[in-house]
Structure 1
């Protein structure tokens, strides 16, 4: 017997239908680089989304076409989040932090026909044209004031197109598995890989994030997604906020650490999501400047991209009353896999056990199945000690990459996505990522977790940032070396060795500490261990 439910597809347009009617007076606010803020309500947003869909139609975009953006976090970019997918086209958010040849590769690989860009990105796109992006048929510049001078052709003004377009557009109904957005991985090795998100995946992920026990966004929230809209849909937070009717505050072009803090104070922001490094930058600015900004409205800070140090989470709670927390995700899972909260049955756990869970990746989110496997793809137990490769299965997890032949997998993993992460899962279901497979350090036949060492080092009051990498060793195969940015200039190698001695076995301790002014990071703010190894090689070469 089949259920007697209406067959209504899960489409992003359903969020807009609800928000326009129930929360039409809630606001979308964008910081302007010229000073002040742009602000409008969801009613006007919906009208402009329809104008954009009609404008793209006038440029020849139809169902199944790809439209790209190269833009910061602002209201026009948010209009693209809906104006493109609601017409059945696919939005490709180009990562502006990739190298130019990688950007050109993604545009060509995705087959983008129209590119919408911010005015400050005009020189970059002119260089992309020189490299070769022949599939792009039109350029649309999102700007205020005078149209910038450019040799891009044909080129249009976003606002002029919008002014000519009708605000009447009927959202079509189509299959919920239709592609809504494409995000490319940050290319740690080889070319970037395209992850294609369906409407179904984004709707499900957004609804889950809005649940109590997850991000818990409701219509009273004033949320600022600091994570870039050009990567993994800013962790799906803009969609979640729109679905829930929350005010959205966007950071605008070229934001700096003080800008984030000023926006929080000005607009009484209640929550942000950002890379761990951004949370550190804001803390450091407050400590360094001594400037008083009223951040009392900020209740929640979701930090991701890497495991946050305990000291950072504690600082925000102690200093500002802000609950900083983390999760675990990846581009291939729309992007969340786990979310961190303390189960009620564990509320009275000893403090060290509690902190171990709070700095883990957290618990798998609803509809997510997860397991860890050994080298033979056999499942390992959830005992908190067995280390294996993370495998995922959920209706918002990728089954492959755009135009990439699927890799062969064992029958044991049929229907699962095998990640490149190594983790343990404790009996309560908390997932602790120990490393990327390529970053796990094997010394004398035993594994050393670089992440565990990094997290421990960053709890030292004299350490601002730390990264641990494995280097070749004649006897032990690999040994750990720590790259450290100091908070206290007096911190020494001996201090850090003593600090770690009580926490780890002697053979885990780094053989060497190298003190730097800053650590290399990827385009998404993660520690870049590939560049770190190259930097380490240069430093050692220079000393010989």
Structure 2
């Protein structure tokens, strides 16, 4: 251990722990009258928000919630969820954000595994809850969340309805100091096999992530993504990595926040217009849904800044959004990273370059945000050069990365092998610090001894004027090992087949951007591409579907 100078502080010096309550106190300090908005149903000021957080803390404490207990939430994106993101960890409890898009069996597993004690249930999810309540092993009490007039429900050990409980609670709560390394939140991430894995974050990690995200989005002007005068509306579920952690940033800065509840493209467009939204974040598929909404026809979304994550941002979507006045910025992260790791940044060198070059970099995963270390390693764990060419697994270090999976010691050791968090992503690093994600390790296509990036191929295919959506996977081939297979959704009024796709890709082969053996020899035209619970392409499901279609000799397969 390196010997450094440590000075003994004054006996009465206050050692301020990094706790979520510090973030809450800042918003009302800056902008007391700014609003928290929920659909067209609720709006109130930051002063009221702080009072409601205190009321909720009293409700939970009176219901018997103790420090270390887990409080679960089943709700759409709402003001209630935001209140839970503060009140629950601020009393020393752990907030479990339940992924309501998992199967009932998986939801049951996560609730039992997390030791949920109290559950806040939106009335829309009562059928799911009623179906699993008999198998819940740790839940002791429930609280009803509802937008409707009915304030009762058949819930076991029902404490009461959320608004009625808050109305009867004190608006004052003395939130205590405690160890900043206390767990604040947990949620479950799904993989290709096995049960969902519990990811958890401490107060210290969430505060540092908030500061790192705020410094990147607010200080880097290319353009500045989110400042105090923006209007924020998340289009990423709050059950997924705390809506990417942005609500904590927005609250700390006193930014007007708009919560849309259940995602409906028509409603999202309406809220954007009415509330004058300027900043959002989402996955590519959600953005496409919004842009294709009836309410969005002939609408110019000028001034709307959106971070795209979860899946790669292709050039076609970037250009389409730009034509509608939307400024897209690619970012990278994952459930285990809290999540922000990197964000596209146009430095002086890129700003002096061509528009085409700037676009190329704007759709990459970006440059690591402050306090993040990124490296590339080969299969043997050796570090590779940051030359923009050498490909390997992206590994990370940062103050806010999850330290393991809850009650999964073996998987935790695998995640942190060699002292770096392993992302499972194949990437390159260049001398400007840009991360370029080439593929998931499990999704890289190996054909004839050559590696093909499904993400790069999807980007090139998406530039076909008739392609609205694309997913590419590798399928077994007796001669080449694997061959790329493209799943396509056609734009209205266009026809697609394997031959026209080949003609579209030929120029990219001639330009050296694509190997000729990377051109898919088979495609399938579908009306919808399978997605995961958070809107990513579900390539596991896609491979299974393709195998079944081939076995059945499906008529909608197109082959060269």
TM-score range, shorter chain: over 0.9
Summarize deviations over 1:455-505 as a string: whole Å, max 9, x none. Answer: 111122211111111111112111111111111522332221122122211
Summarize deviations over 1:363-383 as a string: whole Å, max 9, x none. Answer: 111110011111101011111
Three-state SS of the structure 1 residue aligned to 2:233 is strand
Mapped partners of 1:201, 1:408: distance in 2:
17
Give aligned pairs, total.
534
Matched, 1:540 2:545: no
Report the equivalent of 1:184.
Answer: 188
Summarize deviations over 1:175-222 as a string: whole Å, max 9, x none. Answer: 111111112113332111111111111111112222222874222110
Mapped partners of 1:51, 1:294: distance in 2:
41
Report the equivalent of 1:270.
Answer: 278
Report the equivalent of 1:302.
Answer: 307
Matched, 1:467 2:471: yes
Matched, 1:521 2:559: no
In structure 1, runs of 5+ residues without a counterpart are none
Q: Per-residue deviation at 1:326?
A: 1.2
CA shift in 2, pair 1:291/1:419, >3 Å: closer
Report the equivalent of 1:363.
Answer: 367
The answer to whether the 8 Å contact 2:152/2:161 transfers is: no
The answer to whether the 8 Å contact 2:392/2:428 transfers is: yes
Three-state SS of the structure 1 residue aligned to 2:409 is coil
Q: Per-residue deviation at 1:89?
A: 0.5
Report the equivalent of 1:380.
Answer: 384
The answer to whether the 8 Å contact 2:405/2:412 transfers is: no
Deviates more, 1:165-174 or 1:16-25: 16-25
Mapped partners of 2:154, 2:414: distance in 1:
52
Q: Per-residue deviation at 1:293?
A: 4.8
Q: Per-residue deviation at 1:155?
A: 4.7
2:247 is matched with which residue: 228, 238, 242? 238
1:135 is matched with which residue: 135, 138, 153? 138
Report the equivalent of 1:12.
Answer: 20
In structure 2, runs of 5+ residues without a counterpart are 509-513, 555-560
Mapped partners of 1:411, 1:470: distance in 2:
25
Tell me how large the CA RMSD over aligned residues is. Answer: 2.0
Matched, 1:428 2:432: yes
Mapped partners of 1:202, 1:60: distance in 2:
25
2:487 is matched with which residue: 477, 483, 490? 483
Report the equivalent of 2:265.
Answer: 257
Report the equivalent of 2:231.
Answer: 222
Three-state SS of the structure 2 residue aligned to 1:262 is helix
CA shift in 2, pair 1:17/1:405, >3 Å: same
Three-state SS of the structure 2 residue aligned to 1:481 is strand
TM-score, normalised relative to structure 2 = 0.92
Summarize deviations over 1:105-139 as a string: whole Å, max 9, x none. Answer: 11111101000011111111111213x11201011
Report the equivalent of 2:511.
Answer: none
The answer to whether the 8 Å contact 2:467/2:488 transfers is: yes
1:335 is matched with which residue: 333, 339, 347? 339
Mapped partners of 1:183, 1:26: distance in 2:
30
CA shift in 2, pair 1:509/1:182, >3 Å: same
Report the equivalent of 2:497.
Answer: 492
Mapped partners of 1:410, 1:181: distance in 2:
22
CA shift in 2, pair 1:451/1:171, >3 Å: same
Mapped partners of 1:410, 1:311: distance in 2:
36
Report the equivalent of 1:311.
Answer: 316
Mapped partners of 1:89, 1:412: distance in 2:
26
Mapped partners of 1:310, 1:234: distance in 2:
25
Mapped partners of 1:42, 1:412: distance in 2:
40
Report the equivalent of 2:557.
Answer: none
Q: Per-residue deviation at 1:410?
A: 9.2
Deviates more, 1:418-427 or 1:1-10: 1-10
